[in-house]
Amino acid sequence: RTHSPQPPPPIGMANRGPAYGLSREVQQKIEKQYDADLEQILIQWITTQCRKDVGRPQPGRENFQNWLKDGTVLCELINALYPEGQAPVKKIQASTMAFKQMEQISQFLQAAERYGINTTDIFQTVDLWEGKNMACVQRTLMNLGGLAVARDDGLFSGDPNWFPKKSKENPRNFSDNQLQEGKNVIGLQMGTNRGASQAGMTGYGMPRQIL
């Protein structure tokens, strides 16, 4: 009996192989966290926010992933949250090469962190590029949208009600001197916060609730 040859795996996935046992269970749980309704809100926002026509994917997790996978749409999105001439990603170029796509995703992630997204809320490149955790990709984009609304700087496009309300967060544009001064202040404060009321304090990575 002759076996037909198997097609070669896509570039970048040769070492992955099928997910067995526990990893398959974990993957299925992650996939269940993906929100189809949220997907439609994010598509609506991204297509409204981007200054250029970025197309629109068909519904479905894989279509959403393929739309964002090369990083160009994400870079157009983050650039559209800045005034003309101040865009953080200087060169956006569609490419079929895996490392170029990952590089552009990485540029978006760095720009999103500078914009004010907490590192704990930022997805990893493989979450998107390999489709490992598209729910995490959704969470990052929801946080970005919420932050853009909270900034109230006139650059957000769309319906503010698409996103949960967030407190204003400051973008991380600190000079080296400011960072050093901040470390000194933290050093002085160590030991003085014990016993302080937690009523007015928020943990790192937790947005303040505005009631």
Long-range own/partner contacts, residues 165-169 (CB < 8 A, 24 or more apart): 165/210, 166/207, 167/207, 167/208, 167/209, 167/210, 169/116, 169/207
Angle between helices 72-79 and 61-68 (to 10 degrees): 70
Decide: pTM greater than 0.95. Answer: no
Domain containing residue 131: CATH number: 1.10.418.10
Residue 56 is part of which domain span?
30-162
How far CA 53 is from CA of 50, 62, 111, 141, 209, in Å, comes to: 7, 21, 21, 19, 35
CA distance linking residue 36 with residue 61, whole number of Å: 8
Q: Is 196 inside a domain boundary?
A: no
Whether 120 is in a domain gets the answer yes
Say if 80 falls within a structural domain: yes
Sequence-ordered alpha helix ranges (H) in 36-172? 36-49, 61-68, 72-79, 98-115, 125-129, 134-151
Counted domains in the chain? 1
Instruction: Judge whether residue 58 has pLDDT over 70.
Output: yes
pLDDT tens for each residue of 67-108:
999 999 999 999 999 999 999 999 999 999 999 999 999 999
